[in-house]
């Protein structure tokens, strides 16, 4: 407000100043006495309300000495376990010193040291209890091939662990310990996760038990191919929450303390980039793993590339003129494995897959997911563009393990 000195007496200006000061004092005093009269959203000058996340607000207001991270961790921490494993690894170490005939003749065969042919490899990871009878979810790479598994609870109790089931392609495993009325981690829904929401990792990184780190979800549906893990079939949750060796198999939580992912990998070339398996994926196979079942993975046997008009134009410039790649969106068949379902179904190098079972396909990730959800041995209708022609082919997916053999 602009004050004009020639329009009002000076003493009136003093009165106004006194009234304003008194009004400010009364306002501040009333905010201290009646804090609940504050609105639940902050309004900007254009009256647009800024939303307050209810779960965070309630966690903060219920206990002024705790924040939402502490409240979330409190729901889960007793169910997060340390998993120690031991593996016997064969060694092929040969010291050239003792292979030299001169030294063998000099020392004699009987006095030459016998180098061990096996060594004991120890490693550590994390996991979390999902059933009070002792069912634990973790990563396959934490326990795969282990001769001995030891599970330590936060309260200090130690159990021998039995590996019930392992699925390498999804990097998931179930371990059983003999217990009852054990603490259980609540499972959330990764399908409801959003980019930018809080993400909390709990585990035992680098041997430091019961460690908590905080960040956000950076992106969703990051394919294992994009991450550089070609031997997995996963769409990861990407997070900037600190994940280190030893965190593998531990839970990634939302702000309510619900498990939305299983921490599994870090990017060795960058900081602040970690990956977690969505909990919804684990939900679909955890019971079968607990029962010792083998998880099927359909396979058709092609090498593929996401195709766009720009990619097709570039390829057509570099390829023999006899093969013309259609300048469309789809998935280009780069190669076909001999004697695979794709080969038997007449898929060819240079085909552009545009639909499966009538559903449009525009990326390699979409195709992989569709095949993964198909039925082994059941016909899968595949629409391809071959040059200027559109053809419909029938391919029967095979079990990947059978193909590997």
Asked if 398 and 371 count as a contact pair (C-beta separation under 8 A), the reply is: no
- Same topology for domains 77-176 and 190-290, yes or no? yes
Percentage of the chain exceeding pLDDT 70: 75
The pLDDT score that the predictor gives to residue 227 is: 77
The pLDDT score that the predictor gives to residue 15 is: 38
Cα–Cα distance measured from residue 348 to residue 329, given in angstroms and rounded to the nearest whole number? 18
**More confident of the two residues 123 and 34:** 123
Cα–Cα distance measured from residue 221 to residue 363, given in angstroms and rounded to the nearest whole number? 13
Model confidence band, residue 320 (pLDDT cutoffs 50, 70, 90): low
**More confident of the two residues 6 and 26:** 6
Model confidence band, residue 104 (pLDDT cutoffs 50, 70, 90): low
Cα Dmax for the chain: 118
The pLDDT score that the predictor gives to residue 397 is: 96
Model confidence band, residue 83 (pLDDT cutoffs 50, 70, 90): very high
Q: Mean pLDDT for the chain?
A: 81
**CATH assignment of 298-404, among 3.60.10.10, 2.30.42.10, 3.40.50.740, 2.40.30.110:** 2.30.42.10
Give the domain ranges of the chain: 77-176, 190-290, 298-404
Encode burial over 47-58: b for 16+ CB neighbours within 10 A, e otherwise: eeeeeeeebbee
CATH 2.40.10.10 fits 190-290, yes or no: yes
Q: Is the pLDDT of residue 51 over 60?
A: no
CATH 2.40.10.10 fits 77-176, yes or no: yes
The pLDDT score that the predictor gives to residue 228 is: 73
Q: What is the pTM for the complete model shown?
A: 0.72
Task: Give the catalytic positions in this structure.
Answer: 141, 171, 248
Model confidence band, residue 234 (pLDDT cutoffs 50, 70, 90): confident
What count of residues does the chain have?
Answer: 405
Question: Which of 93-107, 123-137, 139-153, 180-194 comes out lowest in average pLDDT?
Answer: 93-107
The pLDDT score that the predictor gives to residue 393 is: 96
C-alpha dihedral (314, 317, 318, 322), degrees to nearest 10: 120
The pLDDT score that the predictor gives to residue 206 is: 85
Asked if 276 and 239 count as a contact pair (C-beta separation under 8 A), the reply is: yes
The pLDDT score that the predictor gives to residue 106 is: 55
**More confident of the two residues 402 and 362:** 362
């Amino acid at each position: 407000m602009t004050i004009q000195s020639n329009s009002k007496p000076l003493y009136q200006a003093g009165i106004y100043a006194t009234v304003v000061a008194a009004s400010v004092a009364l306002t501040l005093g009333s905010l201290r006495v009646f804090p609940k009269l504050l609105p639940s959203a902050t309004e900007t000058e254009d009256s647009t309300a800024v939303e307050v996340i209810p779960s965070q607000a309630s966690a903060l207001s219920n206990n002024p000495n705790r924040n939402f991270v502490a409240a979330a961790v409190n729901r889960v921490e007793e169910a997060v376990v340390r998993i120690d494993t031991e593996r016997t690894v064969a060694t092929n170490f040969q010291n050239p010193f003792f292979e030299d005939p001169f030294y063998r003749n000099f020392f004699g065969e009987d006095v030459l040291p016998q180098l061990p042919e096996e060594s004991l490899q120890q490693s550590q990871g994390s996991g979390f209890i999902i059933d009070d009878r002792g069912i634990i979810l973790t990563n396959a790479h934490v326990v795969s091939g282990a001769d001995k598994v030891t599970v330590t609870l936060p309260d200090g109790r130690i159990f021998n662990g039995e590996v019930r089931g392992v699925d390498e392609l999804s990097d998931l495993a179930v371990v059983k310990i003999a217990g009852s009325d054990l603490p259980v981690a609540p499972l959330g829904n990764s399908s409801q996760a959003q980019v930018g929401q809080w993400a909390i990792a709990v585990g035992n990184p680098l041997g430091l038990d019961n460690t908590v780190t905080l960040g956000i979800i950076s992106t969703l549906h990051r394919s294992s191919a994009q991450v550089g893990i070609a031997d997995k079939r996963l769409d990861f949750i990407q997070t900037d929450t600190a994940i280190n060796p030893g965190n593998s198999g531990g839970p990634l939580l939302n702000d309510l303390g619900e498990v939305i992912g299983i921490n599994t990998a870090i990017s060795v070339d960058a900081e602040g980039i970690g990956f977690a398996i969505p909990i919804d994926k684990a939900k679909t196979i955890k019971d079968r793993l607990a029962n010792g079942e083998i998880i099927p993975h359909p396979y058709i046997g092609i090498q593929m590339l996401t195709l766009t008009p720009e990619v097709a134009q570039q390829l057509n410039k570099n390829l023999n003129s006899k093969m013309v790649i259609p300048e469309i969106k789809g998935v280009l068949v780069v190669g076909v494995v001999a004697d695979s379902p794709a080969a038997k179904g007449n898929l060819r190098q240079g085909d552009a897959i545009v639909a499966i079972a009538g559903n449009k396909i525009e990326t390699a990730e979409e195709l992989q997911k569709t095949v993964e959800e198909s039925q082994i041995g059941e016909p899968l209708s595949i629409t391809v563009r071959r040059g200027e022609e559109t053809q419909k082919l029938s391919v029967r997916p095979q079990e990947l393990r059978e193909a590997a053999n």
